[in-house]
């Protein structure tokens, strides 16, 4: 019945068009603002035309009210395509344009410019997405897809007829940047920003910078010592005059928008004053100089998380000798406040056991998030026995065990008895590429390569050792990686293609039995080894979700931060002025991390160097005559963009801080009096779209 009604309506409009065509000259002077919309339907090669009858959509568009012109073109986004729009605006005296093509995320700016070139306000343009949301999902149903495209065009035309001229606002950009996270990604981004002449705040939640890379022994495929290539950068960061390094600090709150982020940092109570802080307090020549006198006297012993808990630390500690800044930290969760360290510190008066968290406010123009990763809790994969069997370790624990500065001085030993293992199994994809719902569905991307490196390291250090690499596929994708793979094969590592089913411990010897299917030889295997290293999957660092929400950054379903476009804007996010770098955006190795950090730094420096940014004019407007001053919207606004002000005569009305408003529409949808006008998404425009959908019929 609805269909029949739709058909009748379409017929009606067609008749209306015919009469309009003949009577148009007479009618136009009477209604000078009568909308005249041009519709441009794109073939996008066969992307759209393959599943939608483009010509049919054009013919249909011509029957719609307010449509003065309709045309199709192979690629509307091409230069000739844009020219068609410009020409039509001028020749047909259009008041608005509709392009039915791809997602507005791709070409909205293109068609806005074309609309502006034709002499209209760029916001007189509306886009109908008939590719991503139509042609690509209804590939095998051309008839329905065409009907749906007609619906989309009808809806867009209804809105375009009511669009208004809008002018974007521009705001000045604060000439400072903030980098959150000081692993290799954050350090590189901060160094680049600082070298580009931008004052940069580098914030790190741990007491030292360096991140995961500082825990690694060697890096693949070059086998450079990780610390050796990292520490010069750490020193640079510590010394760069343009970098304000704030360790043991977290982001507490964020307000504002691109160019003007108001960031509140929580400087966690460290219990130790730096030399600068001491000087500010009037302690001459005081503050922590890293002498370490406090550490031996501390009676509290705790596991050092930097060493994956395999080495002790005191309640006043540094992670390792190369920390930047060289500044001790008191762990107030375990400190018993005996005061022995204060006595040992003496005249330097660096230790303050009554220190409290401090909030610091900053204003920054742009932000780079480099939040890093954690190891997936691989004990959840119960079948591999991590934390049940002593000789099953994770790859990060292995890194510390093989590292000369680690808890064993670089001698790989079995945790159960301190013996040197002669048979070591490396279990790849330990929690990665796992569709059981326990592990992670994605590839963690660097485990294959570091496991090859691990095999090399034990072959180098332990005569007669046999590394067994239990793999699904070896993904040696990078420059010189495949060559490294061949090298490790030649060095004698044994490769067994088969996912490990389970691992059991021999209670007497603490040796491990690794059960798998050798899919190359098509037989089940029971491999007895001295030690198992699980190449555990990686997952977003524990704080990632909280931090990303503060900055309004989305994440993909696996928790990694969502880039603005996976291919063409890999460093940007959907929040203007916030960029991402490193593993927090998705697993990647050190070269890719550094490259992305440089990209993010470059992107973050652009608005700062330009000095101003244009904001989309989608903000809310208050219709003061209708506003009752109830203030409900003020509390609802997630961006604190609204406030109540008193007008002459004591009338209270809502006022919008346009630069803060993101145009989300929460207030406009709620306002009981209909007093809020959402620019570009105004009630009459949206209602017209709904009406067009419900009362039309694409037959």
Partner 1 sequence: MAEAKGHDYALFLGCIAPNRYPGCEASAIKCSRKLGINLHDMKGASCCPAPGAFGSIDLNVWYAMAARNVVIAEKMGMDIALECNGCYKSIYEVNEKLKHHDELRDMVNEVLKTVPDPTDPTKKGTMEFKGTIDVFHLVELYADPKICGPDKIRENVVRPLTGTRIGVHYGCHLIKPKKERHLGDTENPMWIEELVAALGAEPVQYRKKMQCCGAGGGVRGYDLVHALDITNEKLINLHEAKVDAVTESCPFCQLQFDRGQIEIKEKFGKMWGLPVLHFNELLGLAFGMSPAELALDMHAIPVDPFLKKIL
Residues facing residue 656 across a β-bridge: 642
- Which of 73, 389 has the CB closer to partner 1? 389
**Cβ-based nearer residue to partner 1, 506 or 646:** 506
Question: Rule CB under 8 A: is residue 650 a binding residue for partner 1?
Answer: no
CA distances from 79 to 111, 239, 342, 478 (A): 11, 50, 73, 37
Span 311-370, contacts to partner 1 by CB under 8 A: none
Q: What element of type H or E holds 368?
A: strand 366-369
Q: Does 502 bind partner 1 (CB under 8 A)?
A: yes
To 10 degrees, what angle do helices 683-695 and 142-160 make? 150
Rounded to the nearest whole angstrom, what is the least distance from the CB of residue 382 to partner 1 in the complex? 4
Residue 532 or 688: the one with the smaller Cβ distance to partner 1 is 532
Dihedral sign (CA 624, 626, 629, 633): negative
CA distance 94 to 108: 18
Closest residue by Cα to residue 621 from 675, 555, 583, 572: 675
Residue (290 or 377) nearer to partner 1, CB: 377
Stretch of residues binding partner 1 (CB under 8 A), selected from 102-110, 380-388, 573-581, 622-630: 380-388
Q: Is 387 a binder of partner 1 (CB under 8 A)?
A: no
522 sits near partner 1 (criterion: CB under 8 A)? no
**Shortest reach from residue 626's CB to partner 1, in Å:** 50
Residue length of the chain: 699
Quote the least distance from Cβ 431 to partner 1, whole Å: 15
| Total residues at interface with partner 1 (CB under 8 A) | 8
* Residue 522 beta carbon to partner 1: minimum distance, rounded to whole angstroms: 16
With both helix axes pointing from N to C terminus, report the angle between 104-117 and 79-91 in degrees, rounded to the nearest 10. Answer: 50
Strands lying side by side in the sheet with 96-101: 67-73, 37-42, 96-101, 125-129
Region binding partner 1 by CB under 8 A among candidate stretches 247-255, 499-507, 609-617, 676-684 = 499-507
Task: Tell me 380's DSSP state.
Answer: G
Cross-strand partners of 461: none
Question: 79 or 436, CB closer to partner 1?
Answer: 436
Q: Which residues contact 598 (CB under 8 A, 6 or more apart)?
A: 188, 189, 192
CB nearer to partner 1: give 513 or 680: 513
Residue whose CB is less far from partner 1, 11 or 382:
382
Q: Which of 55, 361, 382, 626 binds partner 1 (CB under 8 A)?
A: 382
Smallest distance, partner 1 to C-beta of residue 662, A: 41
Q: Output the smallest distance, CB 440 to partner 1, in A.
A: 17
Min dist. Cβ of residue 560 to partner 1 (A): 25
- Neighbour count for residue 445 (Cβ, 10 Å): 18
388 binds partner 1 per the rule CB under 8 A: yes
- Among 186-194, 226-234, 473-481, 498-506, the segment contacting partner 1 (CB under 8 A): 498-506
Of 40 and 376, CB closest to partner 1: 376
Q: What CA dihedral angle connects 483, 485, 489 and 491, to 10 degrees?
A: 70
Q: How far apart are CA 472 and CA 520, in angstroms?
A: 11
Tell me if 49 sits within 8 A of 42, measured CB to CB. no
Residue 343 or 502 having the CB closest to partner 1: 502
Minimum Å distance from CB 116 to partner 1?
A: 54
- The DSSP-derived string for 259-300 is TEEEEEEEE---SB--HHHHHHTT-TT-S-----THHHH---
Selected range binding partner 1 among 136-144, 502-510, 569-577, 646-654, rule: CB under 8 A: 502-510
Residue 587 and residue 178: Cα distance in Å, rounded?
A: 23
Q: Which is nearer to partner 1, 361 or 380 (CB)?
A: 380
Secondary structure of the chain: what % helix, strand, coil (to 5)?
35, 25, 40
Choice from 310, 504, 525, 555 touching partner 1 (CB under 8 A): 504
Decide whether 74 or 388 has the Cβ nearer to partner 1. Answer: 388
Residues between 423 and 442 with contacts to partner 1, criterion CB under 8 A: 436-437
Q: Give the N- to C-terminal CA distance of the chain in Å, as an integer.
A: 13
The minimum distance between CB 141 and partner 1, in angstroms, equals: 22
Contact mark string toward partner 1, 525..554, x via CB under 8 A: ------------------------------
- Provide the mask over 551-580, with x wherever binding to partner 1 is found by CB under 8 A and - wherever it is not: ------------------------------
Q: How far apart are CA 220 and CA 231, in angstroms?
A: 17
Under 8 Å CB-to-CB from 413, ≥6 apart: which residues? 401, 419, 420, 421
Minimum Å gap between C-beta 383 and partner 1 is: 5
Interaction residues for partner 1, span 85-144 (CB under 8 A): none
Of 658, 602, 654, 661, which Cα lies nearest the Cα of 637?
661
Residue 479 or 507 with smaller CB distance to partner 1? 507
Which of residues 12 and 506 has its CB atom nearest to partner 1 in the complex? Answer: 506
**How many C-alpha atoms does 200 have within 13 Å on its Cβ side?**
33
Tell the smallest beta-carbon distance from residue 394 to partner 1 (Å). 18
**Residue among 500, 507, 478, 548 nearest 181 (CA):** 548
Q: Determine the Cα–Cα distance for residues 404 and 402; give it in Å rounded to an integer.
A: 7
CB of 390 to partner 1, least distance (A): 16
Q: Please, what is the minimum distance in Å from the beta carbon of residue 516 to partner 1? A: 15
Minimum separation from the CB atom of position 518 to partner 1 (A): 19
Stretch of residues binding partner 1 (CB under 8 A), selected from 31-39, 44-52, 381-389, 422-430? 381-389
Q: At its nearest, how many Å lie between partner 1 and the CB of residue 539?
A: 21
Residue 473 or 506: the one with the smaller Cβ distance to partner 1 is 506
The residue with tokens 């159960």 is: 416
| Strands 218-219 and 37-42, sheet pairing | unpaired
Candidates 322, 319, 292; CA nearest to 305 is 319
Q: Indicate the DSSP class of residue 481.
A: H
Nearer to partner 1, 502 or 556 (CB): 502
Q: Which of 15, 383, 473, 483 binds partner 1 (CB under 8 A)?
A: 383
Judged by CB, which is closer to partner 1: 55, or 382? Answer: 382
Least Å from the CB of residue 451 to partner 1: 23
The full DSSP string for 395-418 is HHHHHHHHSTTSTTTT----TTT-
Print burial letters for 26-61: b (CB count within 10 Å at least 16), e (below 16): eeeeeeeeebbbbbbbbbbeebbbebbbbebbbebb
Binding site for partner 1 (CB under 8 A): 382-383, 388, 436-437, 502, 504, 506
């Amino acid at each position: 019945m609805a269909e029949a009604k739709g058909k009748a309506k379409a017929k009606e409009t067609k008749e209306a068009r015919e009469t309009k065509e003949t009577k148009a000259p007479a009618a136009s002077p009477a209604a000078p603002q009568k909308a005249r919309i041009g519709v441009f339907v794109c073939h996008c090669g066969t992307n759209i035309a393959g599943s939608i009858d483009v010509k049919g959509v054009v013919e249909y568009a011509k029957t719609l009210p307010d449509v003065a012109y309709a045309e199709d073109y192979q690629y509307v986004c091409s230069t000739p395509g844009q020219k068609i729009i410009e020409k039509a605006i001028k020749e047909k005296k259009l008041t608005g344009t509709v392009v039915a093509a791809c997602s507005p995320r791709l070409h909205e700016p293109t068609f806005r410019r074309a609309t502006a070139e034709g002499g209209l306000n760029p916001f007189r343009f509306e886009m109908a997405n008939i590719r991503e949301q139509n042609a690509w999902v209804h590939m095998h149903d051309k008839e329905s897809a065409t009907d749906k495209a007609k619906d989309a065009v009808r809806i867009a035309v209804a809105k375009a007829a009511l669009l208004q001229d809008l002018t974007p606002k521009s705001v000045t950009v604060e000439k400072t940047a903030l980098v959150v996270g000081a692993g290799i990604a954050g350090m590189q981004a901060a160094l680049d920003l600082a070298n580009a002449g931008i004052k940069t705040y580098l914030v790190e939640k741990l007491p030292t910078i360096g991140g995961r890379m500082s825990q690694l022994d060697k890096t693949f495929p070059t086998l450079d010592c990780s610390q050796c290539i990292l520490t010069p950068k750490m020193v640079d960061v510590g010394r760069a005059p343009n970098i304000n390094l704030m360790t043991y600090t977290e982001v507490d709150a964020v307000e504002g928008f691109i160019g003007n982020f108001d960031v509140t940092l929580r400087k966690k109570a460290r219990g130790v004053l730096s030399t600068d802080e001491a000087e500010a307090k009037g302690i001459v020549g005081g503050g922590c100089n890293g002498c370490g006198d406090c550490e031996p006297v501390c009676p509290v012993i705790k596991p050092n998380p930097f060493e994956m808990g395999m080495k002790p630390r005191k309640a006043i500690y540094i992670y390792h000798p190369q920390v930047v800044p060289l500044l001790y930290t008191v762990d107030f969760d375990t400190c018993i406040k005996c005061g022995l360290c204060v006595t040992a510190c003496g005249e330097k008066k660096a230790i303050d056991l009554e220190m409290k968290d401090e909030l610091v406010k900053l204003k920054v123009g742009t932000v780079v998030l480099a939040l890093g990763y954690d190891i997936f809790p691989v004990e959840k994969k119960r079948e591999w026995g991590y934390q049940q069997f002593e000789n099953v370790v994770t790859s990060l624990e292995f890194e510390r065990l093989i590292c000369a500065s680690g808890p064993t001085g670089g001698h790989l030993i079995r945790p159960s008895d301190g013996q040197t293992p002669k048979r070591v199994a490396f279990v790849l994809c330990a929690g990665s590429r796992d569709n059981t719902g326990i592990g992670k569905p994605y590839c963690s991307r660097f485990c294959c390569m570091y496991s090859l490196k691990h095999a090399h390291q034990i072959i180098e250090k332990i005569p007669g050792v046999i590394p067994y690499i239990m793999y699904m596929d070896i993904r040696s994708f990078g420059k010189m990686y495949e060559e490294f793979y061949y090298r490790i094969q030649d060095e004698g590592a044994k490769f067994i293609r088969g996912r490990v089913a389970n691992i059991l411990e021999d209670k007497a010897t603490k040796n491990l039995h690794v059960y798998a299917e050798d899919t190359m030889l098509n037989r089940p295997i029971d491999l007895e080894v001295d030690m198992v290293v699980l190449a555990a999957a990686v997952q977003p660092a524990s704080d990632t979700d909280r931090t990303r929400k503060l900055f309004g950054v989305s994440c993909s379903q696996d928790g990694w931060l969502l880039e603005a476009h996976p291919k063409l804007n890999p460093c940007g996010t959907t929040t203007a002025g916030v960029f991402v770098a490193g593993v927090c955006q998705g697993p990647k190795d050190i070269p890719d991390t550094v490259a992305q950090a440089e990209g993010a730094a470059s992107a973050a420096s652009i608005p700062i160097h330009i000095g101003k940014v244009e904001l989309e004019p989608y903000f809310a407007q208050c219709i003061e005559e209708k506003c009752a001053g109830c203030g409900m919207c003020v509390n609802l606004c997630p961006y604190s963009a609204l406030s109540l002000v008193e007008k002459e005569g004591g009338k209270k009305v809502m006022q919008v801080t346009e630069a803060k408003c993101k145009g989300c529409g929460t207030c406009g949808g709620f306002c009981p009096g209909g007093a809020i006008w959402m620019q570009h998404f105004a009630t009459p425009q949206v209602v017209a779209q709904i009406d067009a959908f419900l009362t039309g019929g694409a037959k």
